[in-house]
Every structure is written in structure tokens, then in C-alpha cells.
Structure 1
Amino acid sequence: MPRTTDGNSIVLKQLVEGNPVATFVIDAEHRVTHWNRACALLTGVSAADMIGRSEHWRAFYRTSRPILADLVADGAQESAIGLLYHGKVRPSALLDDAFESEEFFPAFGQGGRWLFITAAAIRNAAGEIIGAIETLQDVTERRRAEAALRDSEAYLAQIVDGSSVAMLVIDASHRVTHWNRACEAMTGTLARDVIGSNGQWKAFYPSKRPIMADLVLDDASENVVDRLYHGRFKPSALIPGGYEAEDFFPHFGENGRWLFFTAAPLRNAAGQVIGALETLQDVSERRRAEEALRESEERYRSLSQTDSLTGLYNSRFLHERLPGELERAVRYGRPLALLVIDCDDFKGVNDCHGHLEGDKVLQNLATVIGQCLRRSDSAYRYGGEEFVVLLPEADASAAQAMAERLRSMFAVQETVSPAGAKICCTVSIGVALHMPGDTESSLIRRADEACYVAKERGKNCVVLEASGA
């Protein structure tokens, strides 16, 4: 490793340990010098079993073989690396002396895990390779979800400039000490414009305010963090004293970007906080995918509740909703009316004009029903040419008035066939009022019986059930 003071070595150790991405470092003799908690969690191998040894291959493979960090530490060329990682390795687009690979490890977890691996050379002041750093990111879920979440899971941080994830570091005075190339690309702010200053907020917010790393550096309480990130943050599950959050940054990209960011404290040997690091990942695609999923679920829910011909609710949704309306009527002692509407002589329409014209008649009836509804009312196609309307807060007179208005409006409605024939239909309507002890079936049955009476009276009329008269 490069010559450093004790304090800087501690900071380097904290950078590795504070990285939420599985990270380890080897020296020129291929001995492990750092093996962070995330790496131990991912591989199931503790740092105590790795530090000082050159058997890190055991964490990944059944037999001895060099891993990507070994090849990079040896200065291997791309062609040589390709012999072990054929078709699965490429030079890093961000870093010199670094390679990236994606590989499946069948022994990890249940059913194996896909890992995205980055290995970068570490050089001394003379430019000699003296080791390598390797990070491993679990991309199994991205692999499984493929295109849906491909761009939504940005890779978590490697250490500072060895990271392809946006990362920044601040010291105890809140001055920026590191601002890597990935952070430049994400924020559009160059490292030279921010390093040495405490203007890190300018890359993220329009006015001065602490970023998450500032809050962690000041050991802010959850209440303080909550004032700035209300409902959008939580304490880190991996790093004591750290936080993670998701927030929207409207000035990033063309239409703004959603970022997932983590902040963790850096401590010296005495345990004092001497800085903080923050990593940022673009999760806009995941957010868009989640929104698309919510919209898809809403469309499915709408389709499952709606009659495709008329656009009214279907009978299944009536049976979901009616019990709740009955319970409300009982609990609060409020009136509830139900209409059963039947299109008169509808079979004759189908026989004379065909089913397509019959469908148009039902669609026109559904339109008239919709025009008569209040905001609290709801209408359902119960089956065939029969419809049901629920009228909360409607007594006998209100229900009869609404039914009569519906009947008269539909009686003058004309449906024109392709041949130019004008089809006119009427409806018979039965009205039932909720009574103590009513069930879903008893209320519908009484309205249906009233509708049958309307048919017997010559059709095209409204009949209130006998108990409500």
C-alpha cells in the first residue's frame, strides 16, 4: 500500500469498512489487507479468516485459481485476463489499470448469486503496482428482473477514485476531500470546483443546507435528520451511525433524477468522528418501473371491477361493495336504496336488429344511468340487460325521483342502426329500501321483485317495493 501516516491509514481503513459494497484489498504478495463487513456478509467468510492470507480464492471458487484482483495486481493484460474470464471481462470505462466482470457464483445464497466485480490496481508514488482493490456487488435481482430494473440499481461505492459509484468524502471541518469521477458525471460538478471547499450542497440543492454526510459528521439525531428528509430516510442496517435515504433532484438530467444515497462516519483510532463519506446511486429507472407497476395494478384492478361493454362496474364488484354499504347504513342509521333496472323487450331488439345493435342499446342505457348518478351513487351491470344502482343516503322519495328521471330519459333515447332504423327501448325499474335485518341477497331480491311487478304493470314504469310504499 502507499506510504501514509497512521491517521491516513485509519481513514483508508474506515473508507473500506464504511463502504456498503463488498470490498477487499490485496498487497503485492497477494495477501489480503482489508476485508470489509459487506464482503464478509456476501461471502460468508469473516475478515479474521482472510486478513494476512493469500487464500481469498476460497471465498469464491472450489479450487485454487487467481481472482480478478490477483491478475490486476500482477499487471496482467486484457488478453491474459480473458483466458480466465472469457467473454465476461472488460476494461473499466472509468479507471486505468482496472477491469470489470460479471460472474455467477453457485455456492452463494440459495441458488447462487450474480456478482458485478471491479478490480483496480494500486500504485505507489513511483507508479509501481503494489496491490489491488476489488469490489463485489450483488446484481442477482437486476439479472432476474433484466430490463425492468437494469438501470435502476446503480452500483454501490468502491473506495473513492476506485469506485464506479458516485462518492464524496468530507473532513471534520466539512470540507470536501474526495469527489470521484462518477460523482462528477452524476452531478455535473467537477472535483476541482468543490475539493477543499464546503460548498458540496451546491451540487444538490438551490440554497445552502447540510447534505446527509454533513448530518452524519455532526452526529445528528434522527429527529434532526427527519426535519430535512422526512419519511425518506432510515438508519443504515450495516454501518453504525450511518443513514440512507431516497430523494428526488429536479435539476439532474433532463427531467430530474431519483437518487438513493448513504452516508457513514469516518473515525480515528480513538473512535472520534473525523469525516464522513457519502455514496449516491441513480434509481430513477427503478422508480419509473415501480410507478409503471402501480399503474399496471391500477389498470388491472379497474378491469377486474368494470364491465367491458358498458363501462359500469360489474356484478362481482357489486358483491364486494354492497356489504360495506349495508354495514354503514346499519351503523349510522342512514337510508340506503337499491334499484334493479331491466331493459324491456330486449330479446326482441336482438332478434330484430342483431346483437351488435342490442349492445349499443345497453351502452346507451349505461350512459343515461351515469348521467343520473350523484357522486355517492354507483351503477353496475348485473347481468345481460339487467342493471343495479346503489343510492346511499336516499329515502323512498329520492330513490323514486331518480328512478323516474332515469326511466323518462331513456324512453326518449334513440339508437340508430346501420340501416338507419331508430331503435327505442324502455326500462322497468324496481326500487327497494334497506330494512333492519337486510342482507345483500334480500335487498336485491326485493328490488328484483318490484322490477317484476313493473313488468306486469305494462313495463316502462317504476315500482317501489311493497314494504317501502
Structure 2
Amino acid sequence: MKDQTKTKQALIQELSSLKHRIQELERAESEHKHVEEALRESEEKYRNILESIQEGYFELDLAGNYTFVNEANCRFLGYTKEELVGMNYRQHTDEETAKKLYQPYYELYRTGKSIETLEVESFRKDGIKVIYETSVSLIRDSEGKPIGFRGVSRDITDRKQATEALLESEKRYRALVENASDLVFRLDAAGHFTFVNPVARRIVGYGEKELIGKHYATLIRSDMREEAMKFFGRQFVKGIPNTYSEYPIILKDGREIWVGQNVQLLFQDGKGIAFQAVARDITERRQAEEALRESEKRYQALSIVDELTQCYNSRHFYVQLKIEVERSSRYELPLTLLLLDLDDFKAFNDAYGHVEGDRVLTRLGQVVKRCLRETDSAYRYGGEEFTILLPMTTSADGAVTAERIRAEFKKENFSPDPGKDVNMTVSIGLGQYKTSEDMKVFVHRVDQLMYQGKKNGKDRVCCES
């Protein structure tokens, strides 16, 4: 009986222990289910994040076969997920790229040190080449053993193509600049050379090392240096995009040439930071223009100067008289006019001929100019008549000049025939301008005074009392 009771108690204890064990197992199973559920949710969230990012994400096994790719990575390569998973990366790269990738991946496997940036060329499913930048790290199992690779990639095809296009453009631009027939140079904001093309170096005679860092103004002729600095300073301060200017520069051998230059102000963030210029040697053009100006000057002189006497002609007399009359009226300054006429010139011409008469006219012109100040001017009015304008001169002072001319000319000896000396004389009328007087009235008044002198015996100065 006792044995039966003991056996029953043992069974009850075993049942109780078993029940407790079952409860523990049920709790463990419940916790495991929760863990699995949390793990599934975490994995789903992780996958959703990977699918939503713009960068490509991929996982490879140690042999280089894709075990996972996100949608962005599929777009980069033009394959579906089903096509990429299980595919080896060598299938969308050429042999050269595969060899290039082997070493960094091997180093990653060997050292565990992540690849921060690796540029990779691949071919899409449609055969188009793409370039992407990738970062790769090692995948390890629970025991820390390497089992694969995971990476993030960014498609940089457009950026690379743009960069290559820019480099090619710069290459063409540099070739163009280096081989241009014009002078091409750049200056920093302070005016120092930062680039000078071969043509410019050859023309100015300086080497590249001599020019880089040199201030451009040191090449400009000293008398125009300040003007040039003000010109370009104004362009910089006012932010003028383009200007044209012409300046003489001194070459290394001391010669001078003129250059015409188009100067562009370079901007960064709306602020001027440097100058770029294309210039041309315009020396021949400048010389031609100077020759033309000199020719025009000589032509103008011929058009207003009497060739025989080298005094101004009558046309220029009236131009200058108008100017002097206006000045006299505006500033209330005296103005005196002399009108000279050779005495008995017709008789001299008849007796000795016009050639000898021309010599008399020439000599009178010389005497008149010799007796005048720099501010005075003499004119051949017509035939044997001359006029003289004496600005800022009263009639009293003008009479002194007139008398000097008369006396000096009378001393001149002429020899129209061998062994025969002749002296000529002039009669001079003199008058001072009256306020508001008409110019023609003024000239006529002085002309009448000259004729009055002839009536009074010639060889004299006649003025109003």
C-alpha cells in the first residue's frame, strides 16, 4: 500500500514537472514567434528603405554573383531583379574592367578595410556604357567569416561625360589660344599676368617666367601708363563686361608697337575677379592713320596758306576775324586790324615783270611775319594787299607794330636788273574794333584809312585820330 502511495506521488510530481516544462516551452515558442515577427518586420523595413533610395544597392557572394539588388541598381544596368540575382558582375563588364576590380575586392576580402570610392565602367543590357561610383564593404557571418560583399553605387555617367566634354573643350580652347595669331593673356584683379600665349611672348620678347606675375602697366609707354590704369580700373570698379582700347607698349628690345585690345572682365558670384584679353598689333594701322592726319594737316595748311608769301589766305582771314571779333566782344578785349598795300607795285611789275614782283611779295611776307608776335597773324588779302590781326592790342600799340613793319620793309633791297637796286614801300591803314561793329564795316573802315595814307604821300601808317 505504501509503495502504491509513493508511486502515485511520484507520478503527480512528474506530471507537475512536465506541465511546468510544457509551459516554459510554450513561453519560449511564443517569444521565438515574437522574435521572428520582429525580425521579419525589421527585414521588410530594411528592404523598403533599400528600394526607396536613389543610390543602387547590391550584395555579392565571394564569387561575385549577385545575391540581392535594389530597384535603383536594376535601373542603372537595365536588368530586372530576376535577371541580376544569380548573375556574375563580370557579365556586364569588359575584361579590362574585371581585372581592374579584382585587386580592390581582393584587398577588401583580405584586410576587411572598406572601399570608400571606386569608379567602375559597366555595360547596360542594351549595350550602352555607364559609369558609376561605388563604395563596398565586407559581409561576415555570425562567426566573423567573410561570406560576401555589399555596396552602394551612384550613376555618374552624365557627370563624367560633362567633365570629359569640358576637358575636351578646354583642350581645344588652349590649342586655339596657343596657336592663335593674336596676343591672348589673362590678368588677375590687381593687373598681374597669370597667362600669356606664345604669340604674345614672341612679340613682346619676354619669356613666360619673365611675364607671369609682372604688372601689365609696366609694358605700356610711360606717358600713357596712368591713363591705361585708370581705364582698366574703371572697368573693374564699374563691372563693365567688355572694353576696347589702344595703347603703345614697349618691347623688351626697346622698340614700340601699338596694340588694340578687347578686354573681358571675368566674374565669379557676380564679382569681377580677373581680366582676359585678346589683342592685336595695330602699329601699321596707327602709322597709316598718323600719315593720313599729317597729310590732312598739310592739305589744310595748303588750303589756308598762300603758297607765295606763306601768309594765310583771305578765306582764312575771315574765319579768324570772326573768331577774334567774338572773343573781343565777349571779354571786352581790344582788337586791332592792319591793312597793307604795296606802293606803286603795278609800275614795278610792268617795269621788271611778274617774277620780280613775286619776289617782292615773298619778301614782304617774310618781313611781316618777322615783326609779329606769336598771337598775331598775317594774311595775303589779295594781289599786293595784306591784312594783319593783332589780338588784345590797342590802336596805339598796333601803330608801333605797323611802323616797325613799314620801316623794316623799306630797308629791303631788290635788284630786278643787274647793278640796279630798288627799295619798295607800303602804305598801312590801322583801326581798332568798335563794339558791335559789323566785320565788313570794320574791314572797310581800315581799308579806307590805308587809301587815305596813299593819298597823303604813301609810305606811311594812317590811323584814326
* TM-score scaled by length of structure 2: 0.56
How far did 1:367 drift? 1.5
User: Is the Cα contact below 8 Å between 1:262 and 1:278 reproduced in 2?
Assistant: yes
CA distance in 2, matches of 1:11, 1:319: 71
User: Is the Cα contact below 8 Å between 1:339 and 1:429 reproduced in 2?
Assistant: yes
Instruction: Please tell me the residue identity of whatever aligns with 2:405.
Output: L
CA distance in 1, matches of 2:309, 2:462: 25
Number of the residue aligned with 1:205: 218
Q: 1:360 to 1:241 in 2, by over 3 A?
A: same
- Structure with more helix by fraction: 2
Number of the residue aligned with 2:250: 250
Indicate the SS of the match to 2:454.
helix
CA distance in 1, matches of 2:192, 2:353: 80
CA distance in 2, matches of 1:380, 1:312: 5
How far did 1:171 drift? 8.7
| Residues 330-363 of structure 1, C-alpha deviations (whole Å, 9 max, x = no match) | 2222222211111000011111111111111111
Q: 1:245 to 1:421 in 2, by over 3 A?
A: same
Number of the residue aligned with 2:178: 161
User: Is the Cα contact below 8 Å between 2:183 and 2:200 reproduced in 1?
Assistant: yes
User: Is the Cα contact below 8 Å between 2:194 and 2:212 reproduced in 1?
Assistant: no
Number of the residue aligned with 1:316: 315
Q: 1:319 to 1:275 in 2, by over 3 A?
A: closer
Q: 1:381 to 1:8 in 2, by over 3 A?
A: farther
Structure 1: unaligned runs, 5 residues or longer: 17-121, 123-132, 134-156, 208-224
Question: Is 1:414 aligned to 2:427, yes or no?
Answer: no
Indicate the SS of the match to 2:445.
helix
| Residues 145-190 of structure 1, C-alpha deviations (whole Å, 9 max, x = no match) | xxxxxxxxxxxx9832242222235799999786433223212234
Q: 1:355 to 1:12 in 2, by over 3 A?
A: farther
| Residues 224-265 of structure 1, C-alpha deviations (whole Å, 9 max, x = no match) | x987533589869xx973444322212356531111223435
How far did 1:433 drift? 2.0
Indicate the SS of the match to 2:362.
helix
CA distance in 2, matches of 1:370, 1:173: 55
CA distance in 2, matches of 1:176, 1:341: 66
Instruction: Please tell me the residue identity of whatever aligns with 2:280.
Output: Q
User: Is the Cα contact below 8 Å between 2:328 and 2:335 reproduced in 1?
Assistant: yes
| Residues 98-121 of structure 1, C-alpha deviations (whole Å, 9 max, x = no match) | xxxxxxxxxxxxxxxxxxxxxxxx
Aligned-CA RMSD value: 3.8
Q: Among the aligned pairs, what percent are the same residue?
A: 33
Task: Give matches, 1:28-427, under 5 Å.
Answer: 159-168=176-185, 179-191=196-208, 193=209, 199-201=212-214, 205=218, 228-231=228-231, 241-252=241-252, 255-264=255-264, 277-417=276-416, 419-427=418-426
| Residues 5-41 of structure 1, C-alpha deviations (whole Å, 9 max, x = no match) | 855744765x79xxxxxxxxxxxxxxxxxxxxxxxxx
User: Is the Cα contact below 8 Å between 2:191 and 2:216 reproduced in 1?
Assistant: no
Q: 1:8 to 1:323 in 2, by over 3 A?
A: farther
How far did 1:271 drift? 8.1
CA distance in 2, matches of 1:332, 1:274: 53
Larger Rg: 2
User: Is the Cα contact below 8 Å between 1:337 and 1:432 reproduced in 2?
Assistant: yes
Instruction: Please tell me the residue identity of whatever aligns with 1:241.
Output: P
CA distance in 1, matches of 2:291, 2:247: 18
Q: 1:253 to 1:282 in 2, by over 3 A?
A: farther
Q: 1:253 to 1:316 in 2, by over 3 A?
A: farther
User: Is the Cα contact below 8 Å between 1:309 and 1:359 reproduced in 2?
Assistant: yes
Q: 1:304 to 1:158 in 2, by over 3 A?
A: farther
CA distance in 2, matches of 1:176, 1:402: 62
How far did 1:204 drift? 7.0
CA distance in 2, matches of 1:263, 1:410: 62
Structure 2: unaligned runs, 5 residues or longer: 1-158
How far did 1:460 drift? 0.9
CA distance in 2, matches of 1:455, 1:171: 78
CA distance in 2, matches of 1:251, 1:430: 60
Number of the residue aligned with 1:431: 430
CA distance in 1, matches of 2:411, 2:371: 15
CA distance in 2, matches of 1:275, 1:331: 52
Instruction: Please tell me the residue identity of whatever aligns with 1:166.
Output: L
Indicate the SS of the match to 1:307.
coil
How far did 1:410 drift? 1.4
Q: How many residue pairs are counted as aligned between the two chains?
A: 301
CA distance in 1, matches of 2:192, 2:410: 79
Instruction: Please tell me the residue identity of whatever aligns with 1:199.
Output: I
User: Is the Cα contact below 8 Å between 1:246 and 1:261 reproduced in 2?
Assistant: yes
Q: 1:233 to 1:307 in 2, by over 3 A?
A: farther
CA distance in 2, matches of 1:229, 1:173: 10
